[in-house]
Amino acid sequence: MEALTYDRALAYKDEFPPSEYETWQPRKVMSVLLEIDPMADKDCSLAIGVEEQYGVPAPQMSPLGSEKVLSMKILKKHYDALGSYLHVQSMKQFRTGTVLDFDKFRNRCEEISEYASQVLTSSVFNVTLGSFSKINCAECDKPIRKRIPPGQSEVMAECFECKATYTLTDEGDGKIMWNPHQHEIKCANPDCDQKIFLWHHELEVGRHWTCKTCNVENSIVLGVSYKELSDNTPELTQ
């Protein structure tokens, strides 16, 4: 189950966030894959045919093969349960006379083995077809490629190189709009109108910059604001 899940992850290696490379539990790996592609754990069949009319499915299709994928459902059902057999019975289990149900264990193993065989004998393997949009990052110029799952009109994308983030919006007719998550920040000097742009991930307490116009140092700080309460306002309000 681990090998099949890691193999599946390898098929998505260009889209897999490097921050998740340490993840090893198959269920967590599969969650990352499902976030990248909601179809990552679904079985599929491939077929090709010549369209007689553009955009209308071909009347005659030739099948190329089918793939069975180790799904999240199966991982949830069996992975942890199987792991518990790796350990010797605990002293508590031994003292209370808990005995392993070997018939149940055998049935579980047979079910897993049957499923794994179906996955491994699939006639096509690791299909990851999808629609993608691609740009060069506005910050570091490295290419970012993002999958647009069917039926989803808005997707978040992150540059793995510099952490810049974007919202991708489907504008229809195959057009995808990339909106960078940038904020316009005005110089804190009230006599100065200079503005700079910061990425969302750069907004953190302690970050500072020198204003190019008035030469003051601006810093991002936490602030507390207050308002006056009138006499008849209850002291505690929610």
Q: Which residues bind Zn ion (CB under 5 A)?
A: 137, 139-140, 159, 161-162, 164, 187, 189, 192, 194, 211, 213-214
CB of 211 to Zn ion, least distance (A): 3
Q: Cβ closer to Zn ion: 37 or 161?
A: 161
Q: Which neighbouring-strand residues pair with 180?
A: 166
Q: Cβ closer to Zn ion: 125 or 209?
A: 209
Closest CA to 147 of 119, 172, 176: 176
Asked if residue 143 lies in contact with residue 160, where contact means CB atoms within 8 angstroms, the answer is no
Q: Cβ closer to Zn ion: 172 or 190?
A: 190
CB of 139 to Zn ion, least distance (A): 4
Beta strands in the chain (DSSP E): 44-48, 62-67, 131-136, 143-148, 154-158, 165-172, 175-180, 182-186, 195-199, 208-210, 217-219
> Both ends of the chain: CA-CA distance in Å?
51
CB of 158 to Zn ion, least distance (A): 9
CB of 14 to Zn ion, least distance (A): 15
CB of 17 to Zn ion, least distance (A): 13
Q: Which neighbouring-strand residues pair with 147?
A: 132
Q: Cβ closer to Zn ion: 11 or 135?
A: 135
Give the C-alpha separation, 116 to 68, whole Å: 9
Q: Cβ closer to Zn ion: 192 or 220?
A: 192
